[in-house]
Amino acid sequence: MFWGGKLKLQEYQSKRIFARYGVPIPEGGVATTPQEAREIAERLGKPVVVKAQVLVGGRGKAGGIKLAETPEEAETIAAQILDMDIRGLPVRSVLVEEAADIASEIYLGVVIDRAAKGLVMMASLEGGVEIEEVARRTPEKIVKAPIDPFLGLQDYQVREVAYGIGLGGDLMRGFVKVARGLYIAFMECDASLAEINPLVVTGGRTLLAVDAKMLLDDNALFRHPELAEMRNLEEETPAEREARGHGISYVQLDGTIGCMVNGAGLAMATMDLTKLYGGSPANFLDIGGGAKAERVAAALRLILSDENVKAVLINIFGGITRCDEVAKGILTALEEVETDVPMIARLVGTNEEEGRAILAEAKMITATTLEEAAQKAVAAASAYNEWT
Ligand code: GDP
Ligand code: MN
């Protein structure tokens, strides 16, 4: 099983969830047309901010967030933003909400800290900036509270976090409410990230979640059918959607070497070695344990449907997965898809001899070690590049 799987929610979806847990959010609505944006602005009757809903950060810098004084202006700006691509993602909807009166910006997040083997609440007075950047440049500005899995987030911890970022006095009650709400939202939704960046201190000294981000654990979605429905299908590439249908973990990347591997760890190692030898992976792909020929064929079809792929590296460690099944799947796929893309196969483990015998029919470069396979794939990809 691939345990990096997660469902990314849009800002407006994350905000709605946080609001259910008592986090104050600006009033507003989602629009897919400039007219709708205008109507929302009219209803709000005050200056608004129009925000691109795409699943990447840094929308502000990319021009995807703009203030509008009037409904007419909101309409014009929404038209511009709905026409944009932000980091390659087309903007299909905008969030129109009352503009916040920002005195200062805070970062507040509940994240999984793998090193601490648990959840951590993190906060920083450097809000609005990506937390990774704060962590790199001024780590002392981040305050962390490790959360005990049995005790949960304690109020004293929240107060420590608040004092740690210089938030006391009149803002304390509000902060405790936001922090607890964020933590409970994380827990009840089986999230892997819940983040408010920025959490704003307004001119009137109240707190307001101006941005929201939530990642949900794919493997827990069966417990949350209403959250599973929030999946932003339009954000998935057709290939990623197809992969999900076949039970394959697939993430498209922009390199030239297509990888088919069983096991997430082995897939990572395969990608690392491909990089080490000067190549670049076209995808992450885990066919999972015990894959049958049909799933292998689907995986290979997926890889070959990516035009950037100049070589395919098949790296299978047969345990529960049988190498002969994998080999059969490869032949099935090759019968359907005509291709001259070079393929490198490394099949070791259960039924490897049978697997190799089946593949002898196919034109396939073979390798016994992962290093050898990666090197051959990199060489084949660059040769294919020059050749085409
Ligand atoms: P991101 O760039 O994708 O992280 O989008 P954010 O929602 O975090 O917005 C980026 C920045 O735009 C914030 O840090 C704020 O400085 C600014 N911003 C967002 N909404 C408002 C608003 O309602 N009023 C004002 N004045 N600034 C805003
Ligand atoms: Mn933000």
| Cα of 348 vs its chain's centroid, Å | 32
Mean pLDDT over 215-243 rounds to: 85
- Spatial separation of the C-alpha atoms in residues 235 and 52, rounded to whole Å: 14
- Spatial separation of the C-alpha atoms in residues 343 and 364, rounded to whole Å: 5
pLDDT number for residue 84: 95
Ligand 1, from 8, 10, 65: best to mutate by most atoms within 8 Å of Cβ? 65
Residue 234: pLDDT band (50, 70, 90) is low
Is ligand 1 within 6 A of the CB of residue 112?
A: no
Q: From the CA of 58, how far away is ligand 2's center (Å)?
A: 7
pLDDT tens profile 35-73: 999 999 999 999 999 999 999 888 999 999 999 999 999
- pTM > 0.85: yes or no: no
pLDDT number for residue 2: 41
- Ligand 1: atom nearest CA of 49 is 23
Average pLDDT of the chain to the nearest whole number: 92
Q: From the CA of 289, how far away is ligand 1's center (Å)?
A: 44
Q: Is the per-residue pLDDT at 269 higher than 80? A: yes
Residue ID of nearest Cα to ligand 1 atom 15: 128
Q: Is the per-residue pLDDT at 242 higher than 90? A: no
Please report, rounded to a whole number, the percentage of residues in the chain having pLDDT higher than 70. 97
pLDDT number for residue 1: 34
Considering every ligand atom shown, identify the ligand nearest to the alpha carbon of residue 210 and give its number.
1
Q: From the CA of 213, how far away is ligand 1's center (Å)?
A: 13
Q: Catalytic positions, please?
A: 107, 195
The CA distances from residue 285 to 136, 249, 265, 289, in Å, are 30, 6, 11, 12
Establish how many alpha carbons lie within 13 A of residue 232's alpha carbon, considering only the half-sphere containing its beta carbon.
23
pLDDT tens profile 147-193: 999 999 999 999 999 999 999 899 999 999 999 999 999 999 999 99
Please report, rounded to a whole number, the percentage of residues in the chain having pLDDT higher than 90. 74
From 264, 269, 268, 257, select the one nearest 369 (Cα to Cα): 269
Ligand 1, from 11, 206, 210: best to mutate by most atoms within 8 Å of Cβ? 210
